[in-house]
Amino acid sequence: MRAAMTRIRFKGAAAAAAAVAMAVVLTACGGDGGTDAPESEQKQPNSSSSGKSSPVDAEESADPSVVLASVKGPDGIDLVVNSAERDSGGFVTLKGSVTNGSKQQFGAQGWQGGEQEMAANGASVAGASLVDQAGKKRYLVLRDTDGRCLCTKFTTGIAPGKAAPFFVQFPAPPAEVTDVDFQIPTMPTATIKISG
């Protein structure tokens, strides 16, 4: 009887030790990268292997004194494009700002576009596109393998009277194409010149 009780206690202790070890292993292999930062502050996957820069690099502010285009949308929303730079990796990055001239919070309604894959991006510029009129080709926003756009997400929206910077990345048109139309849902088309 005593030997049987010792074996049961040994098995119980071994099972408890195995459970603790498994918990440690599972914690070390957690799925969120171990950060508690909000999604807007986390680095999205670096896509350098496919020639794209990471959004963290792209989020550096553009020179606000340079204005490639400025458009006014409904409800007092103003969008300014300050730069459109071609990169040797085969993409174009647009940077600018959005100003909310209304009296209510702006959540970029409709700006994520109608694509099912992009709907999860929420308040963002995921529905933007570049159009090469001469070549009759439309370029959609780049995205990672999880369908996240390589663009700004306005996580908390834009407060009345405030401005927020934005960036958005597209596949680059052919090198000879410099003039393109920047389109975003609900806003007028802005013709811009690509540099680089």
What does CATH list as the number for 39-193?
A: 2.60.40
Residue 169, strand partner residues: 93
pLDDT of residue 58: 54
pLDDT of residue 166: 95
One digit per residue, the tens of pLDDT, for the chain of length 196 reads 555 444 544 444 444 444 433 333 333 333 333 333 333 333 333 333 333 344 445 556 678 889 999 999 999 999 999 999 999 889 999 999 999 999 999 999 889 887 777 777 888 999 999 999 999 999 999 998 888 899 999 988 999 999 999 999 999 999 999 999 999 999 999 999 999 7
Stated pTM of the model = 0.68
pLDDT of residue 59: 54
Task: Spell out the domain ranges in the chain.
Answer: 39-193
Three-state SS sequence of the chain: CHHHHHHHHHHHHHHHHHHHHHHHHHHHCCCCCCCCCCHHHCCCCCCHHHCCCCHHHHCCCCCCCCCCEEEECHHHEEEEEEEEEEECCCEEEEEEEEEECCCCCECCCCCCCCCCCCHHHCCECCCCEEEECCCCEEEECCECCCCCECECECCCCECCCCEEEEEEEEECCCCCCCEEEEECCCCCCEEEECEC
pLDDT of residue 51: 38
pLDDT of residue 168: 96
